[in-house]
Chain A
Amino acid sequence: MTAAILVRYGEIALKGKNRMFFEKTLLENIKFALKGLGARVVRMHGRLLIMGAADEEEEITRRLSRVFGVVSVSSVETAPLDLEAIKEKALEIMERSLLPGDSFKVEARRSNKSFPLTSPELNRIIGGAILEKYPRLKVDLENPSFQLFIEVGAREAYIYHDHVAGPGGLPVGSSGRALLLLSGGIDSPVAGWMAMKRGLRLEALHFHSYPFTGLRSREKVIDLCRILSRYGGKMQLHLVNVAGIQKEIRASCPAALGIILLRRMMMRIAGQISRSRGLQALVTGESLGQVASQTLESMIAIDSVTSMLILRPLLGMDKHEIVALAEKTGTYEISIRPYEDCCTLFLPRHPATRPRLEKVVQAEAALDAGGLTAAALENMETMLIED
């Protein structure tokens, strides 16, 4: 038994000249997502058709629901290009799925112009056949509770009635490449997910502080990357140890500025990695005003060390919205594992919440920022993560 699944991709059809590139990217991403399932992807006019084994249909649909650019998917019946055959399948679907009290509408779409009937004619004929079998059924063209779709393709017709919403967005890779600053917390994986949703392909960068943070927090970040790779494909994860930098800051700078100075160092490191790997932007999980380092003043002081574009997809979101998305994407369970990701040893009792840039720059003069950055990068580890 084979199953046919019709995939719709809305937004990218609007993109005119770039459409070919978007479609190609989406097709590649879908093929990657379906790897190992033995499903076939067929390009149709403005649609994709996935042909797979019936017992894998659920898994195919689940994986498609993680491919950005997919607007919706439908399980479809196929029929030869023959009116009677189409009618028969249409009635079969009605028989199977119609609920008492439903009103209905037939919506045909003919991309194969050599088919002898036009879309309105098809609507009328199939609608008539349905009414003949269910004489008490109401037609409702405005707001039907049951819609029957017919797509007439080049070789076959596809008949179906329900849509499962896809994730929407743009195919990963169609908007460029960026570096995600990934901590073990709840926010940054969600920020990564949102960046991928708008078509960015990501590499991830995690700062740890071994031996002040443990090996299990590293496993946590690897697991988070594994979840993100379900949406964005194989992912490079870079691990940089900032223990040395933290010690240096602790020894030479005012404690209240410790966090902001560390973040500036992290941005320098992130900027260098991005440039050397040809990534065009940084993505962080900050949202405005949540904690000390997320005030506008802090962000200004942090951003001023790099000329890289810094994207903060969560800026407009409340915590509960972020948590809801983390739960939906599957990162929440991993993020709440109790391993510390920032050693409390280095947390000042009273961090500066609105640091003035001059003060920060002044304090930083005690550090050899270039040397510390280079030393941290020298020991960077990189691994390729795949679910």
Chain B
Amino acid sequence: MSQLVFIAFQDNDNARYLVEAIQEDNPEAEVQHQPAMIRIQAEKRLVINRETMEEKLGRDWDVQEMLIDVISIGGNVDEDDDHFILQWN
């Protein structure tokens, strides 16, 4: 059986960069646009890297900043200064 992790963001300006960064680092991920929100799912694992986000934004970015725009997640969370990972074991 397939085991999908997912993350959903509010469809706003911040999320645009998050989605771009996620697509770059997780080429397999599927991006779904729904009213007012963007939902991204992937098999087993999804990563958001601080470095990629900083490149996209052209400024320093704290991983915890995403708490403002995230709507929901599915998967075990592993977060530190450099990345945010969702995964099923």
A pairs with B: no
Residue positions of B touching A, CB distance < 8 A: none
Residue positions of A touching B, CB distance < 8 A: none
